[in-house]
Amino acid sequence: MGSGRSVNRAAPANDTARDGETLAQWPSDVYRVLKAAHVRQMAYVPDAGHAALINLLSADPDMVCNLLTSEEEGVAISVGAWLGGQRAVLLMQSSGVGNCINLLSLPVIGRFPLLMLVTMRGEWAEFNPWQVPMGRATQPALEAIGVRVMRAEHPADLVETVEAAAAMAYEADQQVAILIGQRLLGKKKW
């Protein structure tokens, strides 16, 4: 995939979450954490749950953004970024984990840092039955291939989790997926 800018066509996320927390703030906070971790590349498949974060990263002139046709391309881009001296983050939805499970052996066996932010589907208030099986299988599939899994259910937890995962990935050469709970993202509206 090319490294040019792309236009985000993902729908905006809901504005409120449980316990009065606002969803509008966490993408900005996560963006700052990624910048502080010296992340310079982002690979993504458009996703409503990541829409605000995708927009922030895409607007950053220091960020190389890669629009993917399949999530597995993002694994290769992340490894290539590391080999080229840069840090990358891969944004995807839980259904995309199934698309890249085989290629995840590359960073696991090669001990290349990998940081993935995965918005969950098939959980709380899901309306689409096609999302449920992979939602159930996401964490076990990642763990089976050797990826460390962390989970966040609230915006404040997500920011701390991204900080910890970025340190683990880039400083300890680990492969880490942060599962962003569907409850944090809010109920999908179509």
pLDDT in tens, 161-189: 999 999 999 999 999 999 998 888 777 66
pLDDT in tens, 19-40: 444 556 899 999 999 999 999 9
d(CA 70, CA 76): 11
**Confidence tier at 18 by pLDDT (50, 70, 90):** very low
Question: Closest Cα to residue 172, out of 183, 164, 180?
Answer: 164
Question: Closest Cα to residue 93, out of 182, 3, 8, 22?
Answer: 182
Q: What is the mean pLDDT of the chain?
A: 87
pLDDT at 30: 97
Question: Closest Cα to residue 117, out of 29, 12, 21, 5?
Answer: 29
**Confidence tier at 9 by pLDDT (50, 70, 90):** very low
**Confidence tier at 2 by pLDDT (50, 70, 90):** very low
pLDDT at 160 > cutoff 80 = yes
Instruction: Using CB atoms within 10 Å of the CB of residue 96, give its burial: 0 to 12 exposed, 13 to 18 middle, 19+ buried.
Output: buried
Instruction: Using CB atoms within 10 Å of the CB of residue 190, give its burial: 0 to 12 exposed, 13 to 18 middle, 19+ buried.
Output: exposed
Question: Closest Cα to residue 95, out of 127, 133, 134?
Answer: 134
- Contact status, residue 163 vs residue 33, Cβ threshold 8 Å: yes
pLDDT at 3 > cutoff 90 = no
Instruction: Using CB atoms within 10 Å of the CB of residue 43, give its burial: 0 to 12 exposed, 13 to 18 middle, 19+ buried.
Output: buried
- Contact status, residue 181 vs residue 152, Cβ threshold 8 Å: yes
d(CA 57, CA 37): 14
d(CA 144, CA 147): 7
- For range 63-67, the mean pLDDT: 98
- Domain segments of the chain as ranges: 18-185
Poorest-pLDDT segment among 75-79, 113-117, 135-139: 135-139
Q: How is domain 18-185 classified at the CATH fold level?
A: Rossmann fold (3.40.50)
